[in-house]
Amino acid sequence: MKKLIFATAIHFLCFSWFLAQQKAPEFKTKYVFILVIDGPRYAETYGEPTCKYSPLLCDSLKKEGTFYAQFKNNGPTYTVPGHTAIVTGTYQRISNAGTALPKQPNIFQYFLKNTGLDSSAAYVVASKGKLDVLVNTSQKKWNNQYIASTYCGPNGNGLGYGRDDKTFAKVTELVKSENPPQLMLINLLAVDVYGHANNWDKYLESITQSDKYAAQLWQMIQQNPVLKDQTTLLITNDHGRHLDGVRSGFVNHGCRCEGCRHISLLVLGPDTPKGKIVNEEAEMIDISKTIAEIYRFQMPTSKGNFLLDAFPAGQ
């Protein structure tokens, strides 16, 4: 009898070891870039029946990757809170003026701590200066530590709003370099700014311009031998805008209406199935958890879930 128990125990241990080995997936992804197009409404992007304002994202790029059709911002639908949710994996009420730091550490800090790389390996490049708060936190244990590089605002110093073409020039410089950042978030502002200006035509034009930037970014990634076939690009938003009939409609955002909360996520990369459409809900806080798992470190402060449909090897 004892022998039998012993043998069973050995079998169990071997099986557990086998399962543990199975649980450690190898991802091809070595670089992760997040492109945040600030504030388009789903109705004017993928939700537009002919998709005429985002012809590249809706067609050739979508066919290259996994698309989340029900991707949500389930927290405050403003720029700083939205980006904070992406990088920390938690929703919180935080000043939208860039006057406060996120309460939780961000994915860049975890990344720099776990890899031991210097600050240029993680980058935030943003048209909106106030987004430089994304790389730090007020949490005592992490405050002022493992701070990523930033180039936010027109002069890269965290002040004011810059033009997207200037921001994209900085992105181009980094993506074309021999030593590109391994983890980078990019913010493009024009869609949001023209929405607030109540300029419908420029708002739509800016959606189309962002569509071009997204395609150009993916193309530059494929042209750099360092990045090619090793880079995951996540194209998403910080928030949408009010549905028609809700307050001022497309001019503003910030409430919990479907227009404000319904954003999108398209994932492109070597670990991601092509032409897959996910109709189950997923949300912006899932992004940080997924990146942590790709790089195989823990991010206990992120409340998101791993985006398994986009990374099936993570099963």
Q: Catalog residues that contact Zn ion under the rule CB under 5 A.
A: 192, 242, 246, 255, 257, 260
Closest CB to Zn ion among residues 51, 246: 246
- To Zn ion, the closest distance from the beta carbon of 165 in angstroms equals 19
Q: Are 40 and 237 in contact (CB under 8 A)?
A: yes
Tell which phi-psi region holds residue 2, choosing left (phi > 0), alpha (psi between -120 and 50) or beta. alpha
Closest CB to Zn ion among residues 16, 198: 198
Phi, psi of 304 (to 5 degrees): -80, 175
In this structure, is the dihedral angle defined by the CA atoms of residues 176, 185, 147 and 293, taken in order, positive or negative? negative
Closest CB to Zn ion among residues 142, 203: 203
DSSP 61: I
Closest CB to Zn ion among residues 146, 203: 203
Q: Are 263 and 52 in contact (CB under 8 A)?
A: no
Which of 270, 268, 265 lies closest to 304 in space, CA to CA?
265
- C-alpha neighbours within 13 Å on the C-beta side of residue 185: 32
Closest CB to Zn ion among residues 40, 269: 40
- C-alpha neighbours within 13 Å on the C-beta side of residue 10: 6
- To Zn ion, the closest distance from the beta carbon of 71 in angstroms equals 16
- To Zn ion, the closest distance from the beta carbon of 250 in angstroms equals 10
- To Zn ion, the closest distance from the beta carbon of 246 in angstroms equals 5
- To Zn ion, the closest distance from the beta carbon of 45 in angstroms equals 16
DSSP 157: B
